[in-house]
A and B are shown apart, each in its own frame.
Chain A
Amino acid sequence: MDQLPATGHSLSNSTAPVVIEFKNVGKTYKSLLGNSVKAVEEFSLVIREGEILGIAGPNGAGKSTLISLMLGYLRPTAGDVEIGGMSARTYVERNGIGYLSELVSINPKWRADSALVRYATLAGLSDAEIPRRVEYVIDLLGLGEHRDKKVKALSKGNLQRLGLAQALLRDDERILVLDEPTHGLDPVWTQRFRDIVGDLRRSDRTMLIASHNLDELQRLADRVAIIDRGRLQRVVSTGYEAAAPTTTRFRLTLASGFELVPAVFPGAEEVGRGEYDVTVQSIQDLNASLANLIARGALIASVVPERSVLEQQFREAVGESQ
C-alpha cells in the first residue's frame, strides 16, 4: 500500500517531561494611530521532550509570530512562553535553539563557510570543534561547491540549505525550530531534508516544524497544531489508529479484478480504467475489504488516501474558524 503513514513512529509519550509550554499567550500589535491587530490569542500548548510538533495554518495565521515569541524576539502582550521551566528568552540566552527561519537572513557579504564559522562561535563551539562541525554540516547539506561563495551569490535553495546548516551546528541541540524548512528547495532536496529531519529525531530532542505543506507535516510530525487567526483550532495526531472512525476516501487502483470492486466496496465510484474512489469507516474496515478483494483474486496496484487525516482536519478546522 502506498502513502499510509506508519503508526507508532513517535518517540514522544505523554509522560515525557514538558519542554515548551505556551500559557494562554497573546500578542497584539498596536499602531501609532491606536489600531490594534491580534496576531495570537489565548494560545495554550504543551510540547514534550522527544516530540516533533508541526504547526500548520494558512498565511497570516500567526505561525511565525508564535515562533518569534518562543525565541524571545517578541514579548507576549498576554500569558507567557516557558522553555525548560524558564522564560523563553532566558532559555535561549543560556542554551540556544537550533533555528531555521522562514526568511533566511544572513549578511550577503559574508562567505558561506565563514558565516557558519561565525555562527559556530556564537553557538559556543570550541576552536577544535568548529572546523569539524562546519565540515559536517557543509557535507550534510551538500554545500561543498558553494562554501567559498558570498551569501548573495547563493540561489534560494542553497541559501535555505545554508540556513538549515547553521541550525544544525551543534550536535547536542535539545530544541530545533524549523519554520517553512523546505521553502525554495527542489524536490530532491525536499526529500533529502525529510531524511535529515528523520535522522535528527532523538528521545531528548524536541522539534517544532511550521509548514504550509501538510503532507510534509503528516510524514514528519507526531502531532500537528492547526492554528488560524492567531488561535489554536485543534491538535491532530498524525498516526492512523486502527479502530478510529474515519470518513476518508481512498483511491484504489487495480491491475486486475475490476469487476469485483462494487461487490466489496458498495458505493465505489469508478473514476478511470481500474481506478475507484471508495469510502471506508475505519482503517480496520479498509484492511478487511482489501483482504476480501485480494482473496477473490483481485490484484491491487495502489491505495492512496484522497486526503490525509491531517488535511481533512485542517480543512475542517480552518473552515470552522472562518
Chain B
Amino acid sequence: MKGRLAKYSLWQFRDFFFQHGIGIAIIGLLWGYALLTPIRAASGTQMAAVPGSPIWSLVMQISSAVVSVSVLIAMNGIVSSDRKAGYYRFLFSKPVNRELYYAQQFFVYMVGVMLIMTILAVLLRTTLPAFSVGNFLMYAALIYIAMGGIGFFLSAATRYDWLSLAAVWLGARILRGFYSGPRSGWKGKAVQLLPPVHRLDDVANSLIGTGSAQSSDVLWLLGYGTLFFVLGLAVLRYGSLAD
C-alpha cells in the first residue's frame, strides 16, 4: 500500500497557510501600507507612479523586498523543523518517499506564496494602475525558485535554514561588492560562483516594470535555484533524518 502523498498536499497547504501564509500576508500589507501612505500624502489621490519615476523605483524596491522576505519566511523550517522537532518519525514510518514529500511541500508552498503575492499585487494595483500583476508574479516565481532552491538545500542540510539563507543572500551581495571587477584576481572569479543576488535589482526593475529581463540573468537565477533544490533532494536521499 502506498501513501497518498498527493492527497496530503491539502494538509501541507493548510500548514503553509497557518504557519507561514498569515505572516507573509501581514508583512506584505504592512510594507505596502508603509510605502503607499507617504506617497499618497505627497501626491494626493493622483499617484504619479509611472515607470522611470522616483516613486516607481521605490515601488520596485519595496515589492522586490516583499518577495524576498516572503520566500525567506516560506523556507523557514521547510525540512529542518521536522528534523529538529522529531516529526519525521511518524511521517516517514508511513509508506512515503521523503524526497517526494518535501519536493511536493516546496511546490505547495510556492502555490501559497504566489496566491498571497497575487492578493498583494491586486491591492497595490488598485492604487498604482501602472503596476502589472502578471509581471510581478513572474518575478515572484523566479525568486521563489532561485532563493527558495537555496533555502530548501540549507533546510535539508542544516538546522538554521532561514538564518543561513539570509547570511548567504546578504554575504553574496557584500562579497560581490568587495571583489567584483577586473583587479580582484582569483577572488573576483570565486565570487562569480556565489548566488547571483547582484542581478536581482536589474531583474526586478525590468521584469516587474516591463515584463522582460535579460535571459542570461533569468537563466542564471533559475539554474542556481534548481541546482540547489536538486542538491537538497540529494541530501534527503543520502543523508540521515535522525541525529
Contacts and interface: CB of A to CB of B under 8 A. Distances in A.
Interface of A: 68, 71-75, 92-99, 101, 103, 105-107, 109, 118-119, 121-125, 163, 166-167, 170, 172, 177
Given A93-B98, A97-B93, 12 more contacts: A74-B242, A95-B95, A96-B95, A105-B86, A105-B89, A106-B90, A121-B11, A122-B5, A125-B4, A163-B90, A170-B1, A177-B93
B1 A122 contact: no
A122 B242 contact: no
A74 B240 contact: yes
Contacts of A74: 240-242
A93 B95 contact: yes
Contact of A71 (B2, B85, B93, B239): B93
Nearest to A122: B94
Interface of B: 1-5, 7-8, 11, 18-19, 85-98, 238-242
7 contacts: A71-B93, A75-B238, A97-B93, A99-B90, A105-B87, A105-B90, A121-B11
B11 A99 contact: no
B8 A118 contact: yes
A95 B90 contact: no
Given A95-B1, A121-B8, A124-B1, A101 B95 contact: no
B89 A122 contact: no
The 3 closest A-B pairs by CB, nearest first: A105-B86, A99-B93, A96-B95
A121 B92 contact: no
Contact of A73 (B3, B85, B96, B240): B240
Nearest to B99: A93
Interface of B is mostly: loop
A96 B85 contact: no
A254 to B, nearest CB: 50
A290 B231 CA distance: 70
Nearest to B11: A118
Contacts of B86: 101, 103, 105
A107 B89 CA distance: 12
A121 B7 CA distance: 7
A177 B89 CA distance: 12
Contacts of A172: 1
Nearest to A109: B18
Given A122-B4, A124-B2, A93 B11 contact: no
A87 to B, nearest CB: 12
Contacts of B93: 71, 92, 96-99, 167, 177
A75 B236 CA distance: 12
B87 A122 contact: no
A320 B216 CA distance: 68
A73 B1 contact: no
B95 A92 contact: yes
Contacts of B241: 73-74
A99 B85 CA distance: 17
B171 to A, nearest CB: 21
Contacts of B89: 71, 73, 99, 101, 103, 105
A122 B240 contact: no
Nearest to A97: B93
Nearest to A72: B92
Contacts of B92: 71-73, 92
B8 A123 contact: no
Contacts of B94: 96, 119, 122-124
Contacts of B7: 121
B90 A124 contact: no
Contact of A122 (B8, B18, B19): B8
A177 B18 CA distance: 32
Contacts of B91: 119, 122
B95 A73 contact: no
Nearest to B83: A73
Nearest to A95: B95
A75 B95 contact: no
